[in-house]
């Protein structure tokens, strides 16, 4: 049925007006969300993790072929260099056998000394291994999404490690996904120390690949090549986790190259050291799981 006359004449401008109002409403809503996000409103975080929870199965499925292709490429590379790799591993094995002996001696000595001073034994910890399924920070955020969440025992503030060293800490937790804030993120501040001198400092991310060492204790003289480990201060991370190595010490400040290659994160080990930390902990009963 064809409509005409005054109704149609009125309907078109009304529709345009409604569309414009709706558009302005949406723009205002987006701006409002940014302001609330800046104020760290809890419902924003919950909403974000609800979306992550919903998409994680899809991301996990999409990430699998990429992981498999990666492993395949590594295998091919390994096969091509098998002889050289064998020689290298034999040499490394000889060296490690020596270090194993040293470690055993030290362990025995340590136990004896602990017995002497009646020191309490270190707390045990539990961990969950989870696959990295999203790595999307853009230029402003350095974080990854992992396919394990509160139902696997992960809670805010838990430590994320790779075989090479400290990756970061869990910043947001959903039911089956969690977001790990990387060491290089602008909002990451980790208390560390220089391994040899035990001088304390904070390692501050600035979204670049080389985080800065700031608040160095007075008199500290970091040298290129110095190993940086967590100091355990602040209670978020336990002491002694390998962080990186000093690679710059000049006008740009002291810069540290993390041991972890953040571009090749496949699996992370999320550890509950039971440190509690300075972050609010919504703690479900932790459970141990090896491999997912």
- Which residues 31-50 are close enough to bind another protein by CB under 8 A? 31-34, 36-38, 44, 47-48
CB atoms within 10 A of CB 130: 25
Task: State yes or no: residue 227 binds another protein (CB under 8 A).
Answer: no
Q: Of 268, 283, 273, nearest to 234 (Cα)?
A: 273
Evaluated on CA atoms 53, 276, 158, 169, the torsion sign reads: positive
Task: State yes or no: residue 68 binds another protein (CB under 8 A).
Answer: no
Among 8, 18, 26, 102, binds another protein (CB under 8 A): 26
Buried b (16+ CB within 10 A) or exposed e, 164-194: ebbbbbbbbbbebbbbbbbbbbeebbbbbbb
> How deeply is 274 buried, as exposed, middle or buried, from its count of CB atoms within 10 A (0-12, 13-18, 19+)?
middle
CB atoms within 10 A of CB 100: 11
Task: State yes or no: residue 192 binds another protein (CB under 8 A).
Answer: no
Task: State yes or no: residue 167 binds another protein (CB under 8 A).
Answer: no
Nearer to another protein, 28 or 240 (CB): 28
Nearest approach, Cβ of 39 to another protein (angstroms)? 10
Nearest approach, Cβ of 73 to another protein (angstroms)? 8
Q: Which residues bind another protein (CB under 8 A)?
A: 19, 22-23, 26-27, 29-34, 36-38, 44, 47-48, 51-52, 55, 58-59, 62-63, 66, 70, 132-145, 172, 179, 186, 206-208, 262-265
């Amino acid at each position: 049925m064809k409509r005409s006359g005054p109704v149609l004449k009125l309907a078109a401008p009304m529709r345009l007006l409604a569309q414009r109002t709706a558009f302005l409403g949406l723009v205002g809503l987006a701006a409002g969300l940014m302001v609330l996000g800046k104020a760290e409103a809890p419902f924003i975080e919950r909403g974000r993790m609800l979306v992550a929870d919903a998409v994680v199965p899809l991301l996990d499925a999409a990430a699998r072929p990429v992981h498999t292709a990666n492993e395949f490429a590594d295998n091919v590379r390994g096969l091509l260099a098998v002889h050289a790799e064998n020689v290298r591993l034999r040499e490394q094995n000889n060296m490690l056998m020596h270090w194993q002996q040293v470690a055993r001696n030290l362990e025995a000595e340590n136990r004896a000394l602990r017995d002497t001073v009646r020191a309490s034994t270190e707390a045990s910890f539990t961990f969950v291994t989870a696959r990295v399924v999203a790595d999307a920070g853009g230029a402003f955020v350095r974080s990854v999404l992992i396919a394990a969440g509160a139902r696997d025992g992960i809670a805010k503030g838990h430590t994320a490690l790779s075989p090479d060293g400290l990756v970061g800490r869990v910043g947001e937790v959903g039911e089956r996904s969690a977001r790990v804030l990387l060491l290089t993120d602008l909002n990451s501040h980790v208390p560390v120390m220089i391994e040899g001198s035990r001088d304390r400092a904070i390692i501050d991310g600035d979204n670049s690949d080389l985080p800065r060492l700031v608040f160095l204790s007075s008199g500290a003289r970091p040298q290129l090549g110095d190993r940086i480990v967590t100091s355990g201060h602040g209670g978020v991370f336990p002491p002694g986790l390998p962080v990186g190595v000093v690679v710059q010490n000049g006008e740009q400040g002291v810069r540290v190259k993390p041991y972890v290659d953040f571009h090749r994160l496949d699996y992370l080990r999320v550890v509950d050291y039971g440190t509690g930390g300075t972050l609010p902990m919504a703690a479900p009963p932790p459970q141990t799981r090896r491999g997912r």
